[in-house]
Structures are given as C-alpha cells and as structure tokens.
C-alpha cells in the first residue's frame, strides 16, 4: 500500500540495533539544526515550484498541494551530527506526484528553500516512492523550527538533504553542490556507508 513507507518493516521484524547506521546513536528527542534563523511563512504566501532544466515549471499553492494524494510515511531519520530517530511519523505528498508534472531528462536536482538553503541530489533519489514534501509531524502541523509549513523528507540520506522551508526543486544537467556540500560535507550522504564528509568513500 502506497501510504506505508518503505522504512516501515512492522513491529519486531527488524531489531532497532540493525536499524542504526554506523556511528549513530538513537534519540527520543527531536533536535533542531538550522544554519540560520527560522523563517515564518504563512501558508497563504507559500508556494512550491518544480523547474525543469529547460525552464518549464509547475507551481502549487498550499491549497493545491494539500489537495493532492497524501501519504503517511513512518521512517527512521539519521543526522550527520550522529543522532538517529526511529519511526518518525509524517504526512505529505510523494515527490513522484510533484516531479511527474515537469518533463525532464536531467540527472540531478537542487532543493531550494525560503531561507536560501540549498542541497543537491541525484534525481533518482527523489523518485521511486522514497522522498516526500511533508507538512505534518506526529499528527500536528510541522513546527516552524522543523521546517514548517513544509519540508522535504528523504530518509535514506543524512537529514541535511531534507531541506526545511523548501520552496522548490530545480532539475539540473550538471551536479550543483548545495550549502553543506560546498562546505565540505559529502556529495551524496548515505548514512549506511557513513558518507559524512567530502572524501569519505
């Protein structure tokens, strides 16, 4: 069923120890990690835009986005600062639904946020049912400090790839390193391979 996330394995089927990537520790809390101050965006002024490498684009207002088919992923998240949080519950729209609207043959994508933050990904990593635009956490509207009104959720990569206050996705032919990637973090960021910093294999 599409609303059950790939990260949800059912109670007890996989031990928490096996779900902890190398060098991580589990936490019950939900730390806030932001490079700058939290922007406060009323949903009436919010929009989300997907732009193709040719310049063609498609935008959604808040009302339009929340009217799209909703999924409720339950996933483990892993921050490069070494905390991991199991079974986090979100609600939002699959990035497949949004990116399907803009034809592209680009290999890369840059997520761009209202605070100026950027992060780059291979396009393949935001399709296939493993990345979302989320607006609720644990049954409540997403708190501003955690990226509300809406953020990306890409749980198979370190959490810096999950851009908070995201305003759009831009497909790019060339790989364009984002904020932390330019700052020395790994280009891809797979927690299972401990790809924390540039130079990690």
- Footprint on this chain of Mo ion (rule: CB under 5 A): 33, 79-80, 160
Q: What x/- string results for residues 121 through 150 when contact with ligand MTE is judged by CB under 6 A?
A: -------------------------xx---
Q: What is the dihedral of CA 19, 25, 27, 31, to 10 degrees?
A: -120
Q: Which does 164 bind (CB under 5 to 8 A by kind): Mo ion, ligand MTE, none?
A: ligand MTE
Q: What is the dihedral of CA 131, 200, 173, 157, to 10 degrees?
A: 0
Q: What x/- string results for residues 85 through 114 when contact with ligand MTE is judged by CB under 6 A?
A: ----------------------------x-
Q: Which residue is nearest to ligand MTE (CB)?
A: 117
Sheet of 118-122, strands arranged across: 57-61, 47-51, 166-172, 108-113, 118-122
Pick from 2, 4, 16, 35 the residue near ligand MTE by CB under 6 A.
35
174 conformational bin, left if phi > 0, alpha if psi -120 to 50, beta if neither: beta
Minimum Å gap between C-beta 146 and ligand MTE is 4
| Beta carbons within 8 Å of 73's beta carbon, 6+ residues apart | 5, 7, 8, 89, 90, 92, 132, 134, 153, 155
Mark the segment that binds ligand MTE (CB under 6 A) among 27-35, 64-72, 92-100, 125-133. Answer: 27-35
- Residues within the interface to ligand MTE (CB under 6 A): 31-35, 79, 113, 115, 117, 146-147, 159-160, 162-165
């Amino acid at each position: 069923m599409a609303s059950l996330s790939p990260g949800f394995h059912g109670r007890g089927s996989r031990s928490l120890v096996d779900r902890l990537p190398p060098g991580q520790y589990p936490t019950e809390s939900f730390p806030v990690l932001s490079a700058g101050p939290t922007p406060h965006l009323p949903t009436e002024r919010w929009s989300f835009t997907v732009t193709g490498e040719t310049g063609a684009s498609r935008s959604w207002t808040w009302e339009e986005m929340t009217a799209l088919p909703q999924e409720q992923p339950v996933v483990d998240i892993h921050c490069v600062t070494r905390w991991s949080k199991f079974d986090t519950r979100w609600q939002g729209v699959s990035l497949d639904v949004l990116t399907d609207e803009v034809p592209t043959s680009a290999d890369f994508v840059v997520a761009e946020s209202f605070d100026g933050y950027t992060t780059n990904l291979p396009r393949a990593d935001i399709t296939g049912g493993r990345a979302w635009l989320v607006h609720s956490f644990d049954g409540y509207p997403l708190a501003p400090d955690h990226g509300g009104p809406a953020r990306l959720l890409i749980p198979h990569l370190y959490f810096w790839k999950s851009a908070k206050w995201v305003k759009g996705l831009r497909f790019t032919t060339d790989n364009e390193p984002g904020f932390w990637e330019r700052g020395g973090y790994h280009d891809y960021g797979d927690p299972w391979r401990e790809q924390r910093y540039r130079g990690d294999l």
